[in-house]
Amino acid sequence: MLREATIEPRQQPRQEILRAAARLFQQQGYDATSMNDVAAALKLSKGGLYHHFQSKDEILFHIMSHAMDITEERVINVARRVEDPEERLRTLIRLHIGVVLSEEDREITVMLHENHPLPPALRRKINARKKDYVHFVENLIADVQRQRNSTSQVTPRAAAFALVGMINWIYQWYKPGGLLTGDAILRQFTEIFFQGAVG
């Protein structure tokens, strides 16, 4: 047992680095954080860090990619398996809010929304994955509108941006332990999306 425990942090050194770097970027700012700071926070030698990542840009890119991996694995891949479109959309809303509120992943996923300067080629890769996500939500909303014979003037595209916006914005105001619990947010945001807020 002891042996496993001491070995464990080394098993996923890249993920450890990404997590520690994301924390530092948020605490002291992306540009103000050096590769040395990241190495020091992990008690790694500079060589040890450079063995995994060549630059801060590369670290930022992999933090963002990891955030998209999390979203695809825990939201899209699970929602996909739900047969009924409306149930699938409700599941997606629940899982996406879950990722945004996840204490464990917040430091990683928050980085997706801050517009730190990334080299254009890397920025394009992240933006393409963000677009794929919105596109998945858009198609799902179109399925739900069809299923309900909706007479709504709202296009699936505008609805997808509104939904993703209201959920991704949560990190700007959410306080763990506050009046609005995760369950309350889920219930109310789902109702707003399906029925509006003042009906």
Contacting residues toward a second copy, per CB under 8 A = 26-32, 89, 113-117, 134, 141, 144-145, 148, 150-155, 157-159, 161-170, 172-173, 179-180, 184-185, 187-189, 191-199
Choice between 52 and 113, CB closer to a second copy: 113
What are the start-end ranges of the H helices in the chain? 2-11, 13-28, 35-41, 46-52, 56-71, 77-79, 85-101, 103-109, 120-147, 156-168, 170-173, 182-195
Alpha-carbon torsion 68, 192, 80, 140, what sign? negative
* Cα–Cα distance for residue pair 50/27, rounded to 1 Å: 22
Cα pseudo-dihedral 70, 109, 12, 54, rounded to 10? 120
* Cα–Cα distance for residue pair 24/107, rounded to 1 Å: 9
**In the complex, minimum distance from the CB of residue 29 to a second copy, in angstroms, rounded to a whole number:** 5
Estimate the crossing angle of helix 85-101 against helix 182-195, to 10 degrees: 140
**In the complex, minimum distance from the CB of residue 44 to a second copy, in angstroms, rounded to a whole number:** 23
Choice between 38 and 163, CB closer to a second copy: 163
Choice between 14 and 148, CB closer to a second copy: 148
Choice between 18 and 141, CB closer to a second copy: 141
**In the complex, minimum distance from the CB of residue 34 to a second copy, in angstroms, rounded to a whole number:** 11
**In the complex, minimum distance from the CB of residue 25 to a second copy, in angstroms, rounded to a whole number:** 10
Choice between 18 and 137, CB closer to a second copy: 137
**In the complex, minimum distance from the CB of residue 15 to a second copy, in angstroms, rounded to a whole number:** 23
